[in-house]
Amino acid sequence: MNGLNRVQIIGNTGKAPEMKVTAAGKAVTTFSVAVNHTHRDATGQPVEETEWFNCVAWDVQAEIANSLIQKGGLLYVEGRLKTRTWEQDGTRHYKTELIVADFKLLDRRPSAAADAGPDDDAGDALPC
């Protein structure tokens, strides 16, 4: 039987994405997403927890993510979990990342009219 490694999250990006290019010429973009969860404790009081996901997009998707994702934006991300391990100064380190298969921006984009103030001479022109 084959296994299943699929993750779907909706949350807000923690900071602007960072894109790098590997030595092999592949684009890779990293960004973090905060997902909030509320539950009640033993006394019935609501408790909010935040789980942070480190996301990694590759190739063309990395370039698109780098150009579209903004800090604080609401985002849907789908992918798989992958844990990297490395040794540094005699200590083994682990990092679990969400390898992005797909993402969607969930924020509404402001319209050109909403951006223009009442004294703005932009008229009905749309940004290029």
Instruction: Tell how strand 74-88 and strand 27-40 pair up.
Output: unpaired
Domain boundaries, the chain: 1-39+46-81+96-101
Nearest of 67, 52, 54 to residue 19 by alpha carbon: 67
Q: Which positions ≥6 away from 7 have C-beta within 8 Å?
A: 53, 77, 78, 79, 80, 81, 98
pLDDT tens-digit readout, 68-124: 999 999 999 999 999 999 999 999 999 999 999 999 999 866 544 444 444 444 444
User: Which CATH architecture describes the domain 1-39+46-81+96-101?
Assistant: Beta Barrel (2.40)
Do the Cβ atoms of 113 and 127 come closer than 8 Å?
A: no
Stated pTM of the model: 0.78
pLDDT tens-digit readout, 8-65: 999 999 999 999 999 999 999 999 999 999 999 999 999 999 999 999 999 999 999 9
Q: Looking at this protein, which amino acid is placed at residue 116?
A: A
CA dihedral over 105, 106, 112, 116, signed as positive or negative: negative
